[in-house]
Amino acid sequence: MKKHPLIEQVQQSAIDHNLFEPGEKVLVAVSGGVDSVVLLHALLSLCEQFRITLAVAHVDHGLRGAESQGDREFVERLAAQQGLDVFAKTFDVKAYAKRAGLSTQLAAREVRYQYLKKVANLIGATKLATAHHADDQAETVLMRILRGTSLKGLGGIPTRRREEGAEFELIRPLLHVWRAEIESYARDYGILYREDSSNASTHYLRNKIRIQLLPELTTAYNEGTKSHLVHLAEQAREDDQYLSELAEREYRRICQTERDGTISVDVRLLGVSPLPLQRRVITLILYYLRGHTSLWEQVHIESIRSLLTNRYPSAELHLPHGIVARRVYDALLFTTTQALDPVQEVPPAPYELTSLGRHELPEYGIALELTEVEGVPSRPLDAWTAHFNADELSSSRIYIRSRAGGDLLRPIGLHGTKRISDVLVDAKVPKSRRATWPLFCINDSIAWVVGLTRGQAGLVTPETARTLVIRAHVLPAPGPQSYERSDPFSGGT
């Protein structure tokens, strides 16, 4: 028997977007209106094909008195008729909106999604299906254009999205189906549903767009307006995804996470990146520090970008939600205010180098490789490798320590001494790293500011019979925290 065209569309969308996995439990959000009732009807017809089980959830916002109570009772009867578990709850959204300082619409959305998230996690649902359709997509894109938006915003409603702080994905099986097709399906099958009287009110912007603006654009200007808006959303989402992937690669190239959780960026590298990548890399940094991107606005991103061109070597920016961005010479450092609490840090203990081989010093953030060779090897290729006269060191104490007040170095080629603090400042070492910067010492003399400057102690000569070669490596810091949400650039809705 041939399937109804709407069922074929939903089936194809599920295949194209991999909406279901065999054995999954899907929680269906059902308001009682035609869209959500048709969604439930369609998914029931596809359960066997995709080997999924369904449960129903309903939220009564308490905004329409007896009418909304009737919606709840209707949904509970509908689920019972189909032998499905149903979870329904009534909320006082007006009271919540007043407490939280939100508009009624935003408060209703927040309450609804929090409850659906709670139910989905409770029953082990791996997908939450909502009844957003193609008309919703067109309305969303147009509303965002009117309010002002970005490429991400133009992407509209995604077909599937990982929900923050939840073990499930949000899916929209009807997103490529038009409202007229949904209503036609309901007529064809004699499906009963509830009418929400508030949908006829033009008090809210979305309703105005649906009732007044879109029909006017469609009839007076271009009958394909809605289709064009949906197509724009698809293209914008594809472009946004591509730029997001570029930003991830750029982040891995130019950013690193320090052992204290600070994320550092090379200002010179970020500064020459294209502007869209600069903004997205900064967004990624904020996401890795806080697990959200909705906490900051464009003005915060641009304020951070201004640090790239700041003519002062040190500048600091305090952002909402406990984020601090600091320009320190050629580095841009991002941290949280918790990490900046004035706790007295205990200097790392000296590390004795009593054997050849590899030594890991996590408290100093480095590993050392000690080898011994005959004669005098070629000069070290960089400042992270140093050569010492092994004959002279045989009876000496060699070790790594952090700096102390009054430390001095006798640099090669310089008559006199130089303070270690000046060596670190001249090398533009961030202030937060100076206290634990490793110093290689021979007895009481500093012989090497690791990775920066060689001192005169322990120098090899043409007569040196054996040379101690020390190679230093920076230990990788723990990576940024992993969050459930897979795309930090994805939109809300």
CA-based R_g, the chain, Å: 31
Sort 417 into a burial class: Cβ within 10 Å, 0-12 / 13-18 / 19+: middle
Q: Which of 391, 353, 397 is nearest to 373 (CA)?
A: 391
Instruction: Judge contact between 117 and 165, C-beta under 8 A.
Output: yes
Q: Which amino acid is at 289?
A: L
Q: Which amino acid is at 491?
A: G
Residues flagged as binding site for ATP? 31-36
C-alpha to C-alpha distance for 93 and 115, rounded to whole angstroms = 12
Q: Six-digit token pair at 385?
A: 């490798």
C-alpha to C-alpha distance for 42 and 182, rounded to whole angstroms = 10
C-alpha to C-alpha distance for 15 and 156, rounded to whole angstroms = 21
C-alpha to C-alpha distance for 209 and 140, rounded to whole angstroms = 9
C-alpha to C-alpha distance for 303 and 323, rounded to whole angstroms = 13
For every residue of 154-223, DSSP letters joined together read HT-S-SEEEPTTSSSEEE-TTTTS-HHHHHHHHHHHT------GGGG--SSHHHHIIIIIHHHHHHHT-T
Is 311 in a helix, a strand, or coil? coil
Instruction: Judge contact between 73 and 166, C-beta under 8 A.
Output: no
Instruction: Judge contact between 455 and 412, C-beta under 8 A.
Output: yes
C-alpha to C-alpha distance for 336 and 125, rounded to whole angstroms = 34
Residues flagged as binding site? 31-36
Q: In what order do the strands lie in the sheet with 357-361?
A: 357-361, 366-374, 466-474, 385-389
Instruction: Judge contact between 19 and 11, C-beta under 8 A.
Output: no
Q: Is the dihedral of CA 134, 140, 143, 144 positive or negative?
A: negative
Q: Six-digit token pair at 115?
A: 């409850």
Q: In what order do the strands lie in the sheet with 323-328?
A: 255-257, 263-266, 331-336, 323-328, 314-319
Instruction: Judge contact between 419 and 408, C-beta under 8 A.
Output: yes
Instruction: Judge contact between 167 and 66, C-beta under 8 A.
Output: no
Give Cα 97 distance to the centre of its chain: 28
Q: Which of 283, 289, 293, 325 is nearest to 308 (CA)?
A: 325
